């Protein structure tokens, strides 16, 4: 029975190891630099199902890559603010390679069978990737803001504060539109708003000009880099959807959503919408 496999973490907290980590003793310079002493204590399956380890490690790898993406998208936003679309493209290119690794990470779960997943699923309780603040932070950067979701972090004031600032701050796409405005392609830069970005005709028109007038070659290249980003975001959502379909079919999610139907709707939402719709006019 799946329930009988639920246990306390079998890699219990190791006081000696933690003291060693804190004191930075007994480790090679490499271990100290990469904090491997701490890192390797963090994989703690809660069941005896072998497959749970790959689930935990995949989750942790993806969380780290979310942080790296945030770092490079922040650099891209900063370059845009400084009227440096080429610098932004460099940061987006690095980020796109990170996105490729992120998307490829789904392969780590490809062998997870529905019986294995069902056997350790009870240990997740109500835990769901839906509660990932690092992922939500990325969604906000892309313009998919939702203040309603901050209620999840009522007991995590630091996270909540950071997300509240992001909710009210400029997104990566706001910075792009600011640049288009300074180039005279939009009447005004849109003010940051604490809600999901909605496609605008004036923005689609601005991209049409960028894609048809040779004078805007640098912005054309930026548009393509943004689309590379957007397509990879969609690919992550589609691979997530496929993994969920394979491992648990149409069961409801641990985070309380309908599961597959909810994930499908998310995968169908385009990031940077006018960059997609303008293609039908070119």
263 binds ligand HEM (CB under 6 A): yes
Minimum Å distance from CB 5 to ligand HEM?
A: 17
- Residue 5 or 200: the one with the smaller Cβ distance to ligand HEM is 5
109 binds ligand HEM (CB under 6 A): yes
Which DSSP string do the residues of 178-224 spell out, in sequence order? HHHHHTTSSSSPPPP-SS-----HHHHHHHHHHHH-GGGHHHHHHHH
254 binds ligand HEM (CB under 6 A): yes
Euclidean distance between CA atoms 230 and 172, whole angstroms: 12
The footprint of ligand HEM on residues 60-99 (CB under 6 A) is 62-63
Query: Do 10 and 41 contact (CB within 8 A), yes or no?
Result: no
Structure tokens at 81: 């603010």
211 binds ligand HEM (CB under 6 A): no
Among 53, 181, 189, 266, binds ligand HEM (CB under 6 A): 266
Euclidean distance between CA atoms 245 and 242, whole angstroms: 5
Closest residue by Cα to residue 130 from 279, 263, 5, 38: 263
Structure tokens at 64: 């780290």
Taking CB under 6 A as the rule, which mask of x and - marks residues 130-169 in contact with ligand HEM?
Answer: x-x--x----------------------------------
# chain residues binding ligand HEM, by CB under 6 A: 25
Phi, psi of 119 (to 5 degrees): -70, -35
Footprint on this chain of ligand HEM (rule: CB under 6 A) = 58-59, 62-63, 109, 112, 128-130, 132, 135, 240, 243-244, 247-248, 253-257, 259, 262-263, 266
């Amino acid at each position: 029975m799946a329930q009988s496999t639920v246990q306390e973490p079998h890699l219990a907290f190791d006081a000696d190891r933690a003291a060693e980590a804190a004191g930075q003793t007994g480790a090679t310079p490499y271990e100290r630099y990469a904090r491997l002493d701490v890192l390797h204590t963090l994989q703690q399956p809660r069941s005896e199902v072998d497959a749970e380890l790959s689930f935990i490690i995949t989750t942790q790898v993806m969380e780290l890559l979310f942080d790296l993406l945030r770092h490079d998208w922040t650099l891209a936003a900063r370059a845009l603010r400084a009227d440096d679309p080429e610098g932004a493209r460099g940061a987006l290119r690095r980020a796109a390679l990170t996105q490729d690794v992120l998307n490829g990470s789904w392969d780590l779960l490809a062998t997870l069978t529905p019986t294995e997943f069902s056997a350790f699923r009870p240990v997740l309780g109500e835990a769901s990737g839906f509660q990932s603040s690092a992922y939500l932070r990325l969604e906000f950067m892309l313009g998919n803001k939702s203040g309603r979701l901050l209620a999840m972090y009522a007991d995590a004031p630091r996270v909540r504060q950071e997300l509240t600032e992001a909710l009210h701050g400029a997104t990566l796409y706001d910075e792009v539109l600011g640049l288009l405005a300074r180039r005279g392609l939009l009447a005004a830069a849109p003010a940051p708003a604490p809600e999901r970005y909605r496609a605008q005709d004036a923005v689609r028109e601005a991209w049409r000009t960028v894609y048809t007038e040779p004078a805007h070659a640098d912005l054309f290249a930026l548009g393509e880099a943004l689309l590379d980003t957007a397509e990879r975001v969609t690919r992550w959502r589609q691979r997530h959807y496929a993994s969920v379909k394979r491992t648990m079919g149409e069961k409801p999610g641990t985070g309380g959503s309908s599961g597959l139907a909810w994930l499908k709707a998310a995968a169908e939402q385009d990031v940077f919408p006018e960059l997609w719709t303008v293609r039908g006019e070119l």
